[in-house]
Chains A and B, each alone.
Chain A
Amino acid sequence: MRYATLIALMALLPLGAAPAAAHATLDRSDPPVGSTVATAPSALTLTFTQNLEPAFSTIEVRDERGARVDTGKAQVDPGNRRLLRVGLRGLSPGRYSVRWRVLSVDTHKTEGNFAFRVGR
């Protein structure tokens, strides 16, 4: 009986995986994570592995003094709900830290942070 239960569980689980959604993790960023870009970007775009709930998905971008340099509310791209974008005020050369928090459509929340540099 225990053998049968184990075999049945193994057979069923991969089938159940198909329609689900998982945690939204950061797939890529523009500017890229840890990069140095020559010119100041006008926006930060994060691409996640799952579709996002716009109401609870945020990005904060701060300069080396801790001041916010994003333009406010991050927007989920209506045409691609894996994209989260926030505008950036004119960035001067320096290091910028990004903190994001998102809620995937299956209600899992994830968060992360990274930095990028402009200029020097």
Chain B
Amino acid sequence: MFRVLLCAAAFVAALIPATDALAHCFVGARFFPATLGIDDPCVADELSLPTVAMFKNGDDPSARQTDISGEISKRITETFGVSFGTTWTHLRPPGGPNASGFQNLETSFKWQFLTVPEREFVMSAALEIEWGRTGAQSVGAEQFNVYTPTLFFGKGFGGLPDSARWLRPFAVTGQVGYAIPGRRSTITSIDTDPDTGEQTIDAEYHPQVLVWGGTLQYSMPYLKSSVVDLGLPDFFNRLIPIVEVALQTPVANTITSGTVTTGTINPGVIWAGDYFQLAAEALIPVNRASGHGIGGLVQLHFYLDDIFPRSIGRPLFGSSSSARAGGY
């Protein structure tokens, strides 16, 4: 029995990496920060808490909406991770009544299947699941699951020639997902004509939605360490000005939803520290159906791999391809 336990312990120990690798989103010389409007293209151990968004939503008339979100991501292996997140929403429609409650819980399974350090290029694929009936209907949480397979990419421009070296700190990231509701429609009312006895059934159809977006970012850390050190104060050398675009387009089963694209354009800035990052962005709706006026979004994001490098900040299984193999 003891030998069996010993073998089991040795097996588990062998699975625990002796060294860890890049963790949060380093791809070659490029660091892709965690972004707010869309997800970054890497698998990582990280915690976004809180993310606070305040805006006037797309209802007519608009309600003032406040979302406070949290998400934790954990690497299972070096390239596969899982995330759990939820959002608390407070709605203040004009004339009331106010409503508040949690949105549905969300889980994401993500695989970083391609990493090309020398080209600062990374791709990953994820299945995101919104679990129906786990949130409050009063704030719009759906009563059914929504499944969203998604592709992510990130590309840095560090390979540009010397003549364009000031453009090297630029990078883009993007995502394309397809949200598939677990239910095609929901009956919202059944009216019976008192004279004829005929029934009229009203239903809301749940569309399949293309979820897409991207970011354009200029990395001051990259400028300092890979292009030219201008001798700026450390605070400025940690800034990453960014513009995010997060959009949704209903593409199927659109009988009641219509096909209008909604979303926001989010200009802002990220300050990346050693253990956490802070971000602030404006939320500019792309049309009236997306909201009214300019909102705001802030986030505090922790790099768990740096805060807890020898415990929860490393993958549960598997070893890295880093220095253990005898160098680079």
User: Which residues of A are at the interface with B, using a C-beta cutoff of 8 A?
Assistant: 2, 6, 9-10, 13, 16-17, 20-23, 25-26, 28-29, 32-35, 49-50, 53, 55-56, 58, 101, 103, 106-115
Contact = CB atoms under 8 A, between A and B. Distances in A.
Contacts of A10: 49-50
Main secondary structure of the interface of A (DSSP, over half): mixed
27 contacts: A9-B70, A10-B50, A13-B302, A17-B275, A17-B276, A17-B307, A20-B275, A20-B307, A25-B225, A32-B229, A50-B274, A55-B323, A56-B328, A58-B327, A103-B323, A106-B309, A106-B310, A107-B322, A108-B23, A109-B21, A109-B328, A111-B328, A112-B29, A112-B225, A113-B158, A114-B225, A114-B226
Contact of B328 (A29, A101, A106): A101
Contact of A33 (B162, B225, B276, B327): B225
Contacts of A29: 229
Chain B interface size, under 10 / 10 to 19 / 20 to 34 / 35 or more: 35 or more
B317 interface: no
B302 A22 contact: no
Interface in B92-120: 102, 117
B28 interface: yes
B305 interface: yes
Given A2-B102, A16-B307, A103-B323, A22 B275 contact: yes
Given A56-B323, A103-B323, A107-B20, A33 B227 contact: yes
Contact of B29 (A20, A106, A113): A113
Nearest to B117: A111
Given A17-B276, A22-B275, 16 more contacts: A2-B102, A22-B306, A25-B31, A33-B225, A33-B227, A33-B229, A50-B274, A56-B322, A56-B323, A101-B328, A103-B19, A106-B306, A107-B18, A108-B21, A108-B309, A113-B158
Contact of A108 (B29, B226, B305): B305
B228 A34 contact: yes
A48 to B, nearest CB: 10
Contacts of A32: 228-229
Contact of B47 (A13, A53, A106): A13
Nearest to B273: A22
B327 A34 contact: no
A110 to B, nearest CB: 6
Interface in B42-63: 47, 49-50
A49 B273 CA distance: 11
A6 B310 contact: no
A21 to B, nearest CB: 7
A110 B276 CA distance: 17
Contact of A35 (B70, B117, B228, B276): B228
Contacts of B19: 103, 107
Given A101-B328, A109-B22, A21 B306 contact: yes
B305 to A, nearest CB: 7
For A2, A23, A29, which residue has the most chain B Cβ atoms within 10 angstroms? A23
A53 B117 CA distance: 21
A10 to B, nearest CB: 6
B306 A108 contact: yes
Interface pairs A-B: 10 shortest CB-CB: A34-B228, A56-B323, A22-B274, A22-B306, A106-B309, A112-B29, A26-B225, A33-B229, A107-B19, A109-B322
A109 B274 CA distance: 14
Given A33-B226, A34-B228, A103-B322, A56 B306 contact: no
A50 B274 CA distance: 10
Interface in B298-312: 302-303, 305-310
Contacts of B225: 25-26, 33, 112, 114
B86 interface: yes
A16 B306 contact: no
B28 A111 contact: yes
Contacts of A21: 306, 309
Contacts of A110: 22, 26
B313 to A, nearest CB: 8
A56 B226 contact: no
